Amino acid sequence: MHCEASASLINRMKVIKTIEQMQFFSQHGKKLGKTIGLVPTMGYLHSGHISLIKRARKDTGIVVVSIYVNPTQFGPGEDYKRYPRDLERDRELAKAAGTDVLFVPSNKEIYPDGYSTYIMVEELSEKLCGISRPIHFRGVTTIVAKLFNIVKPTRTYFGWKDAQQLIIIKKMVSDLNIDVKVIGLPTVREKDGLAVSSRNKYLTKKEREIAPVLYQALVQVKRMVNSGESNSAKVLKEVKNLIKAKKIKIDYLKAVNLMSLKDVKKLKKKTLIAVAAWIGKTRLIDNMLIK
């Protein structure tokens, strides 16, 4: 209640474009004893992002949402250029969800000429999505660490939809002794189960109709586990057929240990079922945790 009140007191959302101003703002906030919640995004906000912002609003005194389509996490030939952008829309959505500061830096601010420092979380970054996107997580950890240094958050919020990203960021924070609490929030889904994602916008009407099969496949895994089946290979094979029947090209469908992301033979507690697949030209991911 206190935070909601202070948010409505401010009532105007600040838009900050430079690192210097953002750092100054955060330093000032910290000196006043405020906690800072950071929601890093690539914009084109959807209900998944909104759930993160609302939780930050509940938890912390100052809510910072960053919008930055980070070039270093896109490989050559990936969708960096066509990634959806709509700052006006994002501004309204972020404000309505209780954002105090929208941090919208330019590429020049983030990666000035001669930029050359990268953070790698080895092993974890090489699994699952890391196989087809070898530089992706290096870009993610680098930009997130930079945002931590710029915004100085007390807490930061990520969706479980990008489970590997969340696990890698938690590992980086722990390994590098970064003083921030990383909160993972549940995947938000459309009514038919499709995980909400900015990339869903790419789907044609026909593709959109078949896309929920990824979710259905994950549910089917859970159903089989609940009915006593624990053999990974057997379950994954059956479920892959479900997806292939829709003429969807699977990048991977795996059962892995939640901490190590290594393949597991037996489906049990803390097994993550993760899938990535190409629906037409759109690569979507989803996952489910066996509890």
Residues lying near a copy of itself in the complex (CB under 8 A) are found at: 19, 23, 27, 115-124, 141-142, 145-146, 149-150, 152, 171-172, 175-179
Smallest gap, in angstroms, from Cβ of residue 106 to a copy of itself?
Answer: 14
Nearest distance from C-beta of residue 199 to a copy of itself, angstroms: 28
Distance (Å, rounded) from C-alpha 73 to C-alpha 118?
Answer: 11
CB-based contact 67:114 (threshold 8 Å): no
Q: Which is nearer to a copy of itself, 57 or 152 (CB)?
A: 152
How far CA 96 is from CA of 163, 164, 184, 185, 289, in Å, comes to: 27, 29, 22, 19, 31
Measured from the Cβ of residue 236, the count of other Cβ atoms closer than 10 Å reads 21
When the beta carbons of 18 and 220 are compared against a copy of itself, the nearer one is 18
Least separation in angstroms between CB 260 and a copy of itself:
8
Catalytic residue among 2, 46, 49, 136: 49
Q: Cβ closer to a copy of itself: 23 or 216?
A: 23
- Which residue, 98, 91, 92, is CA-closest to 6? 98
Alpha-carbon span 222 to 207, nearest angstrom: 24
Crossing angle of the two packed helices 2-10 and 47-59, in degrees rounded to 10 = 110
Contact 36, 148 (CB under 8 A): no
By beta-carbon proximity to a copy of itself, the closer residue of 108 and 205 is: 108
Q: Given the complex with a copy of itself, which of 45 and 64 has the nearer CB atom?
A: 64
Residue 175 parent element (H or E): helix 163-175
Residue 221's nearest CA partner among 275, 285, 167 is: 275
Single-letter code of the amino acid located at 111: Y
Minimum distance, C-beta of residue 121 to a copy of itself, in the bound complex (Å): 5
| Catalytic residue flag (residue 49) | yes
The answer to whether 22 touches 30, Cβ cutoff 8 Å, is no
DSSP letter (8 states) at residue 87: H
Please report how close the Cβ of residue 171 comes to a copy of itself at its closest, in angstroms. 7
Positions marked catalytic: 49
